[in-house]
A and B are shown apart, each in its own frame.
Chain A
């Protein structure tokens, strides 16, 4: 028998046909999978952008001059940083940032004013707490901007040609400098995980609740066809959702699309399949839709916390890192960021893609095996 004949024999096509009709009629779900992610992206995205204002900043002013105070004022005037007090040593800076009293520290060396007056380049340093990747990048560029505008003001006052002020920025705790641009591709992954898992987990459970599963079981439909027929339409939903979110990320948040979009779409299939596999597995365990929903939410939390979406995995304790290794999102985030931000290709990403493909295969086959054509 050819593969097509086997599919026909096991009644895959009528299942697929039925699912598509039902999906087309289920307007609410369609809205849920397209509009809701779009709204969430906007909310997340803007929250990230506004987050970087009013960072508390302590000042270690070793110069204590008119010029040094002018620099402090210039930086606080931008609104990115708020003056949060004076400190007297590097140790105090460390303490302030560790305790969260400050998110940034301005260090002005003793020779600051002298150098400016002599017409040489004075140096100041801004230390930024970069542990929260969503704000550090903007904070750093905010500091640079403030310094540049102060430099312009000095030039205007003193008429020097030489650059009077150089601001170096040192990110602490997260030297890689993750930015909002880094976060938004992650949102694509998180939203896909959430909706894919929730809508698939409900799929088989809904048939069980409505009594149609009982009816399907007494027909000759094969259980693989039954489950695949349910999954395939959701793959398209996944792509639709990904497109909506990517277009918004690109248009509104200026997320660069450096790499190959066709490659991203091709590789995303493994992640979508793995997420659907999770949903399918949930649906073979849950007895009703409420349980399926709860389980899906339970699955969401580690995805958001441990996948590297919110916190850098490098900084996590071992156990948290190991848990992250079994989450499809962990791998997909690397694929997303790799392709979108760095222009990576299959040569760099094959490990992640293989991991996703293995996960998808295991999850779907375990679900099919777990599903029995009985109602006990």
Chain B
């Protein structure tokens, strides 16, 4: 009989609605929670799903944000790369033939759209995105972003951001390109307002 009770409990847990993220009742409350954050540090695991692969391509990295406009987005495996925005100045470095090489300015500018998006998410200003229209799914603690323009929709169909229970913290970002491809970023070891090394927004050595 015990197994039957356990099974009932399991089904009940599965059927229960997800716990709403308290701090994310509205875009205003998200913005308010984000405004008090000075910095965020987190590790991330990126899974790239492709229909032709049985297993996703896995990448690992580290993410650092300092309000209002400094970001370090670093990939450690399988390719070493660091994108740095320091007070709005954007640059990217890739580890090529045993040394760090700075990307050409034109290519970096193409990434500015992405960085601007990330910045607007981290400051809770989802509604201010020029490229995406934001909808809040309060029941599931998610923000759904849909492209405003067809040109963007041809590249990315939608983005789903799952918010963490901790205020001003993002748990997962899912980028859906179409039926054949998507990318999921899971954030872990998130540290809010922790100590930041002085060199964190400097070029890699």
A and B bind: no
